[in-house]
Amino acid sequence: MGLVSVEPRSEASDVVVKITAEKRGLYGSELSADQKKLFLETMRGMLAMFREDDVNATIQTIQKNGVVDRLSISWYGGKYDIGSDKVWDTWQIEGPDMVWYFRGVPHIHSYFQLKS
Each residue's pLDDT tens digit, 29-43: 999 999 999 999 999
* Residues 34-82: tens digit of each pLDDT: 999 999 999 999 999 999 999 999 999 999 999 999 999 999 988 888 8
Q: What is the pLDDT of residue 48?
A: 92
In a domain, residue 11? The reply is: no
Q: Mean pLDDT across the stretch 108-115? A: 88
Distance CA 60, CA 70 (A): 16
Which residue range forms the structural domain that includes residue 58?
20-114
In a domain, residue 9? The reply is: no
Q: What is the pLDDT of residue 28?
A: 94
What's the domain count of the chain? 1
